[in-house]
Structure 1
Amino acid sequence: MESLLHSQIELFGRITNSFENLKKVGSASITLGIVEARFQALEKNWEKFEAQHDKLLARHWDALADFDYRKNDMQATAEDAYLQQKGLYLDALRTLKGRITTENSVAASDAPHPPHPPRTTLPRIQLPQFFGRYEEWPSFRDLFHSIIGMDTTTTQVEKLHYLKFCLKGEAELLVRNLPTTDENFDRAWNVLINYFENKRLLVRSYISKFTALQKLKGESASDLCQLYHDVMSTVGSLEGIGRPITRGED
């Protein structure tokens, strides 16, 4: 019994002074690993204290009546000390983990970001198709350029794949024989610009489309609305290529 009592008193001292002994290491030397190791030691000491307390109760309870261990209820005192020490360790662990998370976030934000790796699978994008009609070139040009041409994550050869996919008819014939390589995207795009950026032909195409509008068969609201939209479409197209209806040189 005396050996058990001596062991309990020793364990009580370890439990009570556990966190204080950790601080003796010095704040500069306290790491997450050291705190976790000390915390695990506290848990083991408490488990051993409880196990030995159960032995004392089972074998020597009556004999303990004359000892301070039972008189002062050392088990309850040790439990309070254990819970207090455990709380200190949990607070310390939370603080250290929060500090590490913050430091990692700062380091990640300061680190150079690697370039985007080239994609091997092209995404499915709803792209416009161009059949070679002059009046459709400006809208196709602007839409394709905004979706694909300005995309910095898409390689030049991928852009050429997209372009060839979108071209049909006469437009496709212009670039059909260009090999699908990085350097040929700009070449193909310039071929299309040189061929379809003929503003005089664009103006004639828009005017021809306008003069081909069917005459009104009646004065219904829907017919008038359709005529209005057709006229405004032609006006907008002419202004879009820098040839407003106020200019007559074309």
Structure 2
Amino acid sequence: MEFDKLVKSQVSVYDNISKLLLNYKKTGKERLTKGFVEARMEMADKYWDKFEQQHNTLLSAEPEYQQKSEYFTKDIYEQCFDNYLDLKTRMKEKLNSFECTQPSSVAVNNSTTEQSLCPNMKLPPIQFSTFSGDYRDWLSFRDVFKSLVHDNTSLSNVNKCQYLKSSLRGEAENLVKQIAVSEVNYEIMWEMLNNRYNNKRSIVNTYIGKLFNLKRIQTESAKNIREILDVTTECLAVLKSIGLPTESWDDIVVYTIIQKLDIESHRMFEQRLESNDKLPTWNEPV
């Protein structure tokens, strides 16, 4: 069967990439010249291009075949990608080190300091939260990911694709599970997530539901009151950010929140009102 032959070829390519990584780790520093690293990087790229091309073909196999094949059940693609990415990262960092010049003396304010002229210093990774498909988390995840990864011109689409896949969980992960990590698939994956979760109606319903479904406080508690205030502030801020006229909702919001207070807190609120003719606003202290 044609797919069986492709799977055998994939396993062979996977073994070749794994051996390249293992041998690279064992290589002594004196042998890690620029030419040595570049030659092995070229070989690794050729292996990966073949692996990814064959993987895309295998994705067209019937679901029954994919469910039975160890290639899919053992997630050989992800294992191979991890090894390739590990190897490529090690080799790129080594090549970058060849581009760095030795520290030179630079006069600053009549004093001498040591300044590194290497533009490729490795910075600590920036962590961002994962997204599992909850509409309440989408806007925050989208904006952070867009700022750190999507709009980052120093990252290739392959890198962005891998970052995106690794940051998804649950329903969101399943949505793009069958899409291979590649240069061309990143935009497809990002658009799919935006089409599913950048849904104004669903986001509005989620936050209005969160606002009106707050649990009522049974006994006087400053902590619980702060929690109600925080949740309400969050909901109103999100709804306002997507264009809803929340500034005109004061009467409804205040009434809703008052109904969530315990009896004693509700009584104290009423006592602090200066007049029954003046309606309290959300942002106005009472």
The normalised TM-score by structure 2 is 0.42
Q: Which has the larger radius of gyration?
A: 1
The normalised TM-score by structure 1 is 0.48
Q: Which has the higher contact order (CA 8 A, sep 6+)?
A: 1
Which has more helix, going by share of residues?
1
